[in-house]
A and B are shown apart, each in its own frame.
Chain A
Amino acid sequence: MKIHGKAIKFGDNVDTDVILPGKYLTLIDPSELARHALEGIDPSFPEKAKRGVIIIGGKNFGCGSSREQAPLALKYAGVQCVLAESFARIFFRNAINIGLPVVDCKGISTFANDNDDLVADFDLGDIKNLTTRESIHASRLPQFILEILTDGGLIENLRKRLKKK
């Protein structure tokens, strides 16, 4: 799985309350959630993300609540994947389960800047910066997680597995 897009960079400890404030949790339509993605940091984010972006995060990206609405809002706003120094564990699982690719990558926050042109190869765990012509190694996700992502999320993956049985 290869993803190509422009970088939008954030700092450390981007929490789920700024990704999707609690007052929007009664929304269940993903496109409505997307309108409020990252509203707590940058209300213009959904407009910027429309073109299909790659989020660069610092440490502990997605810390806080278990709300799946947070990765859903990002995905439907146009975020193609999130590359961060590290992730909070529930956000990490949620993102994979809804089919938003995420991987931790030490050094990513200094490797990429806003608007850099990036290609993330999830199979190899390899990130290329086409703007600076540099590359960096990310973690390699286990095969079963890559399969969940390729299938488009846990539900699709589970349907496939249950059918096989």
Chain B
Amino acid sequence: MAKASGKDLVHPSEIVDANVDVVMVHDLTGPLAVEAFKKIGVDKVWDNKKIVIILDHQVPAESVKAAELHKMMRKFAKEQGIVLYDVGKGGICHQVMPEKGHVIPGNLIVGADSHTCTYGAFGAFATGIGSTEAASVFATGKIWLKVPSTVKINVKGQFQNYVTPKDLILHIISEVGADGATYKSVEFTGPAIKNMNMSGRLTLCNMAVEMGAKNGVVEPDEVTTHFLKGRTNKSLPTFDSLKSDPNAKYEKEIDIDVTELLPQVAVPPCVDNVKAASELANERIEQAFIGSCTNGRIEDLRLAAQILKGRTVKESVRTLVIPASKEVYSLALKEGLIEIFTDAGAMVCGSTCGPCLGGHIGLLAAGETCISTSNRNFIGRMGSKEANVFLASPATVAASAVTGKITDPQTLEANRK
């Protein structure tokens, strides 16, 4: 934040006027941003190379209304010379942004989507904003930000089989609370994070907002460099400048050993209401959803496929698998995962946010229950306000799809014949 505001040093609570490196909008927040931009009275955006538009929430268009909004976004992108990832070319914004090299460590990124905090996994400062503010950034390239204090989460230990970064972040949110990190920065650090792949780090940072955080962040390292290789021709900063100062002051520190951590499930209607999957074993489900910006990556699909291979999902369970991007979809196809899913009786859809926000594909009726790898279980999130959404890892969702009840994947796999 100091670098972005031309200062040597900034302190918590200080308000800075920061230069934005990249701003992203999608099909649900973009139209209001474009309308607001037109009212500002400038013809051209400040820098068309620093704006990214991704159509992902209601694609392919699920209604004439959505189609009109998509048309409006395409027109704006063309007029201004802004890159737009259209249907079938990109996927979910928070997966496409890193895949296509729009996320660089040390950058200041804002996005008109609350899960923009995902990009902190690369050591970028990234946070969610609204449409009007995105319009203001389109015009000026600047945004005011309050420097947050930081909560440090030290994670050590080895994950057990079928226990994942999703289980870790659900556990962290239950410890911190749904508003426990409001306005704060959450830094994930320690040996277990160092050993974690990019996919896991993205899952952690993605859900930082579910404890109210302004951003989540992981120090960039060789795992980061490896992921970015061949994805961007922008020069990467030296990571030394992006490491936490050894004498950094934290508002709070939390130590976690993942060795004893078991598969976790967030019980509706709060993300911080978390129990072990085994405690919910009698909970019947009608739908299982594997996908979203939280858990729709190739590693997530591999894990789900490992559980579903040679099995079929319960007759009474609709199982939806939605790869987070075209790249993930293609890889899953090459690796034979898509065949495992369809053989098991799951439906595989093209990359979209889909049921996560109750926009389209796989909505729930009153009285129905879904177990989902997504990030929110609020009332009415996936359709009817009398439906229930439980949140869990891809392993737990896949295991539950097989039995028709919330199921600990460790138990299911222990009984594999």
Which A residues fall within an 8 A CB radius of B?
13, 15, 17-18, 21-23, 25-28, 40-41, 59-60, 63-69, 86, 88-90, 93-94, 97-98, 142, 144, 153-155, 158-159, 162
**Are A23 and B359 neighbours in the complex by a CB distance under 8 Å?**
yes
CB within 8 Å for A60 and B182 given contacts A26-B69, A158-B140: yes
**Are A155 and B178 neighbours in the complex by a CB distance under 8 Å?**
no
Residues of B near A22 (CB, < 8 A) are: 357-359, 381
Cβ distance B74 to chain A, nearest Cβ, rounded Å: 16
Residue from A18, A66, A86, A159 in contact with B40 in the complex, judged by beta carbons closer than 8 Å: A159
Give bound CA distance, A22 to B125, whole Å.
Answer: 27
Q: Which 4 A-B pairs have the closest CB atoms?
A: A94-B130, A60-B179, A68-B130, A22-B357
**Are A97 and B379 neighbours in the complex by a CB distance under 8 Å?**
no
Q: Does B376 contact A (CB under 8 A)?
A: yes
Count of chain B residues near A, Cβ 8 A: 51
Q: Chain B: which residue is nearest A65 at the CB level?
A: B114
Q: Chain A: which residue is nearest B385 at the CB level?
A: A40
CB within 8 Å for A40 and B379 given contacts A25-B28, A90-B114, A155-B135: yes
Q: Chain A: which residue is nearest B36 at the CB level?
A: A155
Q: Does B154 contact A (CB under 8 A)?
A: no
**Are B139 and A158 neighbours in the complex by a CB distance under 8 Å?**
yes
CB within 8 Å for A153 and B40 given contacts A23-B358, A26-B66: no
**Are A142 and B15 neighbours in the complex by a CB distance under 8 Å?**
yes
Residue from A27, A59, A90, A162 in contact with B41 in the complex, judged by beta carbons closer than 8 Å: A162
CB within 8 Å for A66 and B376 given contacts A26-B63, A94-B130: no
Give bound CA distance, A63 to B270, whole Å.
Answer: 11
Q: Does B265 contact A (CB under 8 A)?
A: no
Q: Does B300 contact A (CB under 8 A)?
A: no
**Are B378 and A17 neighbours in the complex by a CB distance under 8 Å?**
yes
Residues of B near A15 (CB, < 8 A) are: 376, 378-379
Q: Chain B: which residue is nearest A26 at the CB level?
A: B65
Residues of A near B359 (CB, < 8 A) are: 22-23, 25
**Are A60 and B212 neighbours in the complex by a CB distance under 8 Å?**
yes
Residues of B near A89 (CB, < 8 A) are: 182-183, 212, 214
Give bound CA distance, A21 to B357, whole Å.
Answer: 8
Residues of A near B357 (CB, < 8 A) are: 17, 22, 25, 65
Give bound CA distance, A26 to B67, whole Å.
Answer: 9
**Are A90 and B378 neighbours in the complex by a CB distance under 8 Å?**
no
Residues of B near A154 (CB, < 8 A) are: 132-133, 136
Give bound CA distance, A65 to B383, whole Å.
Answer: 16
Give bound CA distance, A88 to B65, whole Å.
Answer: 29
